[in-house]
Structures are given as structure tokens and as C-alpha cells.
Structure 1
């Protein structure tokens, strides 16, 4: 058993600004995979953790959900943010372990099964066409992220929830502020108290939705959540609004990041765009490659319930591990030329959706949205190029591009 390894490169994983500089980020992660794949990180403001950067180790940890638990620390936050969220009592699926996780996950599971996805595909295809058609009126230059990338997935998830279109802009503001609370442009204010208001306002919104759906049930996902029971008992208020929040926020921002990041990748790799235009049957593989390339969820965390080892390194009971998907999906031991964007990559064993019991509930929906959008856009693109620099948001959890100025012509 090896001694505790401390590699300064691992400190980048706690720095939101590093995710705005992909060359720097990936240089550090490649160094860690080669030299310190299990590295102890202790930085000011955060409780210490182990950085796990190899694909195989992350998969092993996710399989061992009885040993490595989501509670009490599912994502990397500052100690202050941890305490604030604990005080609010947030309890989403990512905070839970079995059996509670299994019971609560089941409430929404039917809405993401193949039969439900087939029924939803008509709406997703309609929205994809609507947003690509709208691009005809925006040209010849605009910011793809802010005009299309963030809105298309939002319309899909809000339609599933059955929420009025007039509320969509406000929900977009909440989700951007929640996941962009480390980004000076996107965050709500500069103090933690101001930033917490976005979460509290979202919770207030969904508390009203719950009351409405309980008084007048409808045939949508919002009603299914509001009227759900576990062992004959309704969900608590915090469990209900937490469920809405994870569906609305995670279901939106992750897909938004891949749609925008996927288009950016096609622009930067015109040979792959031409290849896709010549063979649209590659869309399913291209979708998986975009997901791997962007890896919108940068990390999740687990906490050891007992002393154990990872790659020969002792992990003590109560210590946390950070699972770096940004690193895992560039692992040289798993992917042929991992820094090559290849729309025909097969196999593509990315773990951007996680693995095991916490595999992303909305993975099928995300795949469908990405597939539908690029199936509509790619055949109609006559030309496309950057009209300015692409900009990434500062984050250590979920995110991607916040600006993608493009110049294009469509049919």
C-alpha cells in the first residue's frame, strides 16, 4: 500500500477558472493520469478530497455504491456552500443512497423509459426544427449558446414538466445562476447569500407548482412528482421541490453544454462536419462523441464508508473522492487518440452519464435531443465558422460554453 500522494497538479480540480482554459486543464489531467491518478487535494476553502482521474478507477468506485456513498458530499463545493445547502435541506437524487435513492428515482423513471421517449420524440423533433428554422432569421451572425444552445433543451424539459412557456426565461435564469455561481458573468451577485437566492427563488417557484398540481392534477411530469408517494406517504416539501430542481436544472444545463460544445467541435473539425454531412447515419455515433468530448458533468464525489484502497492507495473511512469525468473521458488506456474528435468513434466507452445505480436518469432524453438537433441542423448547413472567440464558463461541477459567436449560411 502506497503512502499518501500529493501532486500540485490536482489542485486545478478545485479551481473554476481552469475549466475556462481547456489546454491547461487537460495538460494537468494528463499529468495526473500518468503520474498521480489517486492524489490528495487540500486547498483553502474546501474540505480535502482524493482526486481520481483514471477511467477504470472511477468505474470501480461507481460500481461499489455500498462502499462509496453519495451522501454527505455528492459534489465539490466550498465548505461555506456545503453548510448553506445543508441548512436549506436540499435532498436531490444526487444526494441520496439506496434504498431512498431507488425509491425516489422510481417516481420519474417511467417518464424516461423507451416507450415514453418514443412518444416524446415528436415534440423534440418539432422543437429542433423550430430552433433551426429560427436561425434563418438570426443570421448571418449571432451567439449560438445564448440564442439556441440554452433555449432548445430548456423548452424540451419544461414541456415535459408541463410548465407555461411564459415562465421559461425565468427558469433559464435560475439554472444559469445555479450552475454558473462561480462565473462572474453568470452568477447572482458576489456574496454567497446573494447566490443562494437563485436556489431559494427556484424552490419558491416549484413550491407553487406543487400546490397547483396537488389541487388540480394534470398529465405531466410536474404532476407525477407533486402527487408521488413513497410507502404510502407523500414526499416532503423539500423532497418535492428538490426533485423538480434536479430535473429542470440538470436536465437542461448538461444537454445545453453538449449541443453548444458539439457544434463548436464540428466547426473546429470541418473534416468531421463534412464527413457527417456525407453520411447522416453517423449521427448516433457523433452524438456519443460530442457527449464524450464535452463531458458536461465535470465531477461527482463519493465518500468511503470504510477503509479501502484505490490503485493501492489507502482511502480512509469518511474521506471523499472526486471522480473527474473530464479526465476519465480522455483516458489514453480507454480511448484511441483521446484528443481526436472522431464522429465515427466506435466503441466509445465514455462515462459522461456516470455508471451503476446513479446512471443519469435522463440519458436517453439527452441523447434524443442531441440527435434530433444535429439531424435537423447538419444537412441544412451550407457554411459555418466562428465569428469570435468561444468562451467557457467558470465551473467545477456542470458547464460548458457560455458564448459561441458563429457566422453561417443555412438552406
Structure 2
């Protein structure tokens, strides 16, 4: 007789150190499990998580307590129906198509280059502390047309808001810091919004102030809440994904060499990183009615925790799911950054991440410029750094040895495009 393993504790130190063995146990033996520590039902299989993201019965009503206190108001993930469609139409154009390429690509390129220039010529660097954590936040500040001297202030607000959203253990100091960051950010933005409404510019913040869809415009609270969401969601995904991308590639030298030789593989490497080590490990939903899933039934109004890190390694969905393989055939790069993705790192359906293409652009620019600047790169420490975190997860540091080369001149020469 086989002994059934104990259900894992997702708030335990063992889970924080490495959640993937626990995910396997959940998928195999407890596909629907009520976790007392978070008072939520854990979904661990790909099929169930995909249903929770796609089916309208799964609402985002839980965001009223999970997101709203830090963001200072309702945000896109909380909305549904016409309200969601109109508000998404107000913000989406800046994150896709011609506006992203023509208006904001130079901003992305300039910020990557400036950060790399700060450690160009060094023998080693921490790609997390010196690049990945700064890059997406600096880009967002510049897209909004805000004072570049405030990059550090925004980085602090970003860290506090992300801490609030990741606070599964409900630490009161972390919660208070997140709420305070949201209030400070809103107070900083309000006078600037008045200026942009009176004299709009060509920046994202002016666009948010002036764009109208079906007779609807965003008010000050809409905009300050969206900026807070943009910092948290846009920063965290790109920050941790970029660090994990290089960690994963450096840990697989043959694949790293292939990407260095053929830069068109960067999107595939990013997509596989999102599947293999997703920056956001879990997202919550709340069913409006009783729902039957693998392993049982979830009552209406309960909190459901969709374990993205588990679903993306489901043996029922992927061949060799525990292997990092940028050449896998069961992950389609062409759709990996759309609502039709073969992974669930950006969610799916109507609440698919509005900034997915911005994240892809930042990853491509950042990776290309790093590879151009440093044709020699390897781990500076004995082993690849492990990921850290529970709600969000990624390397806390990534020290690499660096070497200069002819690519540095090509990167510096791109300054004229900014």
C-alpha cells in the first residue's frame, strides 16, 4: 500500500526555498486543496488554472482586499464587462503596435544603455541589483514623462507595493508600508495630473489624462491607481524574468550559445523562462457560483489560488516539464505574449496582462544590449543562484563575470536612435 504524502504548507520555509516538489505533490494527490494558512483553495493543474483565468464565473472580486488598499482604488484587474473593456481601451494603445515601437522603444533602449554603461568595463556585476530591478521602473517613469531624478523614489514605492501584494503571511508592517507607498505615489502624481490636463505633452501620463473612449475619461484616482498597478505588475514581471532568463541560459551553456549566435531566439528563451520559472507564481480568483474542478468543488465566494508555477510544469500539458528547453515544441513563441499563450504566466482570457508586449520589448532590448556589451559572460560564483520568494519569485542577485568586446561599440552607437 502506498502512503499518501502530506499536503504541503505553502507558507513554510521549505516551500519558499523550492516550491516545485510541493507543486508536484499537489498536482498528483491534491489537485484541489483547501489551504488553511491562506484560507484559499489551491489549483495546481494546468487545465484548472486555465479555466479559472478564462471562465467568467471566476471573478476578480478578491482584488478589493488584495490589491485596492495598495493601489488606492479600483484597477483594471478588478473590472469586468463594459467597464473593463472601456478602461482597457483607454490604456492599451501605449503598450502595443506603432505607439510602443515609435514612441517608447527609444525610451527603453536609452534606459538599458545607461544602466549598462554604469558597469561597462567592470570585471563582474550583479545583473539583478545593477540592471534588472532598475530597468523596468526607470522605463515606466520615463514613459510617463516624470522627473528622471525621481527614479530612486519610484523604485522605493515599487518595492513597497510589491511587498504588500506578496504579503501572504499578512505581516502588518509590510501591509502598512504598501498602503503608505500608494498614498505617497498618489500625492506625488495629483499636481502633475493637473498640469498635464492643462498642457498635455507626448508622454503616457498626458495620454491617460486626455484619451476618451465611448465618452469615458480616466479621473485622477483612475490614473494614480493605474500607475501604481503599472509599477507593480510591469516592474515585477520584467525585473524577475530578465534575471531568470540570464540565470537559466547561463545554467544551460549550449542554449546560451545558441541565443548569443541567433538573437531571434530571445523571444523563445523568454517564453520558456516564463513557463519554467514564472516571476508571478500565483494569482487569486473568486468564483461567483459553485464550480466543480479536478478533485472536487469550490463554493461560491471562496478564494481560489491559481498556482501558475505548478500549472506551467504540469506533466499533463508539457513534455519534460522540469527541463529548461528553449527549443521545446509544446510552447508556441508566436502566441506566447498574447491571450492565446500556451503558458499561464501572464494569465489568459479577458484579464491577460495588458503589458505583455511591453515586457517582451524590454526583455529583447535588455538581453540584446547585454549580449552586445559583454560577449564573455559566466557565473561569478560557484553555482547558479536559486530563486527566492513565494507569491513572486526570482533570483535576489545574479553575479556574473563580464568581458568587453566589439559589441560595445555597436551598443554605444545606437545612442542616436534615442
Partner of 2:209: 226
Partner of 1:70: 60
CA distance in 2, matches of 1:161, 1:273: 34
Contact 1:388 1:404 (C-alpha < 8 Å) held by counterparts: no
- TM-score (norm. length: structure 2): 0.84
Instruction: Give the secondary-structure state (helix, strand or coil) at the position aligned to 1:322.
Output: strand
Contact 1:53 1:323 (C-alpha < 8 Å) held by counterparts: yes
Partner of 1:78: none
1:243-262 aligned at under 5 Å gives the runs: 243-262=226-245
Provide the alpha-carbon RMSD of the alignment: 2.9
1:210-252 Cα shifts (integer Å, max 9, x gaps): 2222232112111122334565354343322111111222111
C-alpha displacement at 1:388, in angstroms?
A: 6.8
Partner of 1:116: 99
Partner of 2:23: 29
Aligned counterpart for 2:299 among listed residues 308, 316, 322: 316
CA distance in 2, matches of 1:117, 1:191: 34
1:302-345 Cα shifts (integer Å, max 9, x gaps): 11111221125111111121111111111112222112111223
1:331-385 Cα shifts (integer Å, max 9, x gaps): 1122221121112233312221110000110111111111122222235321321
Residues 1:335 and 2:325 are matched in the alignment: no
Residues 1:371 and 2:368 are matched in the alignment: no
Instruction: Give the secondary-structure state (helix, strand or coil) at the position aligned to 2:9.
Output: helix
Instruction: Give the secondary-structure state (helix, strand or coil) at the position aligned to 1:11.
Output: coil
Say if 1:375 and 1:102 are closer, same or farther in 2 by CA, change over 3 A: same
1:73-119 Cα shifts (integer Å, max 9, x gaps): 139xxxxxx38955985311122222322221111111122222321
Aligned counterpart for 1:40 among listed residues 31, 34, 54: 34
Aligned counterpart for 1:277 among listed residues 254, 260, 267: 260
Contact 1:383 1:410 (C-alpha < 8 Å) held by counterparts: no
C-alpha displacement at 1:204, in angstroms?
A: 1.8
Q: Please, which moves more after superposition, 326-335 or 278-287?
A: 278-287
Partner of 2:415: none
Partner of 1:134: 118
C-alpha displacement at 1:277, in angstroms?
A: 2.2
Contact 1:180 1:394 (C-alpha < 8 Å) held by counterparts: no
CA distance in 2, matches of 1:173, 1:268: 31
Aligned counterpart for 1:394 among listed residues 375, 389, 393: 389
Aligned counterpart for 1:94 among listed residues 77, 80, 83: 77
Say if 1:20 and 1:143 are closer, same or farther in 2 by CA, change over 3 A: farther
C-alpha displacement at 1:10, in angstroms?
A: 4.7
Give 5+ residue unaligned stretches, structure 2: 332-341, 406-418
CA distance in 2, matches of 1:260, 1:329: 19
Contact 1:391 1:404 (C-alpha < 8 Å) held by counterparts: no
Partner of 1:79: none
Residues 1:61 and 2:45 are matched in the alignment: no
The number of equivalent residue pairs is: 387
Instruction: Give the secondary-structure state (helix, strand or coil) at the position aligned to 1:403.
Output: coil
C-alpha displacement at 1:404, in angstroms?
A: 1.9
Q: Please, which moves more after superposition, 377-386 or 285-294?
A: 377-386
Instruction: Give the secondary-structure state (helix, strand or coil) at the position aligned to 2:48.
Output: helix
CA distance in 2, matches of 1:183, 1:317: 24
Partner of 2:41: 50
Partner of 1:3: none
Instruction: Give the secondary-structure state (helix, strand or coil) at the position aligned to 1:171.
Output: helix
CA distance in 1, matches of 2:232, 2:166: 17
Give 5+ residue unaligned stretches, structure 1: 1-5, 76-81
CA distance in 1, matches of 2:320, 2:151: 40
Partner of 1:150: 133
CA distance in 2, matches of 1:246, 1:235: 15
